[in-house]
Amino acid sequence: MYKPCIKNAICTTYWLYYLVDEVCLLCYTHIMVESIKNILSIFLLDKLKVHHTIYRLPAIAEFLEELIANTLSDNGFENDWKPNRSHTMSKDLSLSQGQSFSIKSGIYDPVKKTLKFSGSRLGKHETIEQMAQVIIDTHADYYVCLAKASEDWSTVPKIDEDKKYYLFVFEADKLRYDGVWGVKESKKGGFKYVMDLPGIHAKINPSMSYQLWTTVSEDIIGEPEVLIV
């Protein structure tokens, strides 16, 4: 007569709970990404239109942070952003529910279909191993990037020309920095730390206060929403 193994049954039950938790987490992050992207693609555009009635240059840095923070709070996503140029490393705002966001501008390459953006300055850490670990340990939960393609903007933009942006929203876990970091020397005698994984290139440049720069493929973070002002 068949006798069920209690130990196997318990292991199977825990495994099912784990799978359910993972599926729920994936569904939640997907819903969060799509919700934020949908809200910004509609309502951030209105604020960008106001921005460009005054400024010809693109919305970047703290000005972009404020536009996004206000757009989110206007649409039910209350957050802790304040106009004081002070925030936790790699985290520009957090929602009242706890999710954190890093807000970037960046450069989009429509031919290569890649997004390039800057990160934290890591000069206070002594070794590349320490720098890489800080990058891995201190990221936000999500990224919001409002990038532009160089060919879409004039060197000196005119007040009446189209202002084209590319909106990316994605989970921070899409980015990996746990590859092998090496040293790449330049012809001028300097060097930089570099890391390459499929679809991701990262570098830390000592001449720029050891600032992190990341280039990532659309295949990893998804296609952008195009916003034209």
- To the nearest whole number, what is the mean pLDDT of the chain? 88
H-assigned helices in 55-171: 61-74, 128-137
Read off the pLDDT of residues 63-80 as tens digits, 9 standing for 90 and up: 999 999 999 999 999 999
Which CB contacts under 8 angstroms, 24+ apart, belong to 81-85? Answer: none
Give the predicted TM-score (pTM) of the model.
0.84
The predicted model gives 155-160 an average pLDDT of: 88
Helix (H, G, I), strand (E, B) or coil at 137: helix
Strands (E) in 46-199, as ranges, are 93-94, 100-104, 107-109, 114-121, 142-147, 164-171, 181-185, 191-197
Triad 153, 159, 165: Cα angle to 5°: 40
Band of residue 49 on the pLDDT scale cut at 50, 70, 90: very high
Cα-to-chain-centroid distance, residue 197: 17
Strand (E) or helix (H) holding 215: strand 211-217
